Amino acid sequence: MAELVQGSAIRLYSAEQLQAILSRMARELYGVLKGVDPLAVVGIRRRGAPLADMLTKLLVDEHGFDNPLRLDITVKRYADDLTVLFPYTRIEKSQEFNCTDLSGHRILVVDDVVHGGYSLAKVVDLLLEKAPTDIHIACLVDRCTRVVPVHTDVVGIRLQVATSDLIEVSVPPYETEFQIGLHQPRTAL
pLDDT digits 0-9 by tens, 55-65? 999 999 999 89
Q: What is the torsion angle, in degrees rounded to the nearest 10, for the CA atoms of residue 145, residue 147, residue 151 and residue 157?
A: -10
H or E stretch at 128: helix 118-128
Q: Which of 27, 24, 28, 2 is nearest to 14 (CA)?
A: 2
SS3 label, residue 184 = coil
Q: Which domains does the chain have, with CATH numbers?
A: 3-183 (3.40.50.2020)
Query: 2 pLDDT exceeds 70?
Result: no
pLDDT for 143 equals 83
pLDDT at 39: 93
Does the pLDDT value for residue 4 go beyond 50?
no
Closest residue by Cα to residue 169 from 151, 145, 143:
143
Please give the pLDDT value at position 150. Answer: 84
Mean of the pLDDT values across residues 154-162?
87
Which of 36-45, 87-96, 178-187 has the highest mean predicted lDDT (pLDDT)? 36-45
Task: Summarize the confidence of residues 119-132 as an average pLDDT.
Answer: 89
Looking at residue 11, its pLDDT comes to 87
Q: How do residues 64-78 score in pLDDT, each as one tens digit?
A: 898 999 998 887 666
In this prediction, residue 8 carries a pLDDT of 64
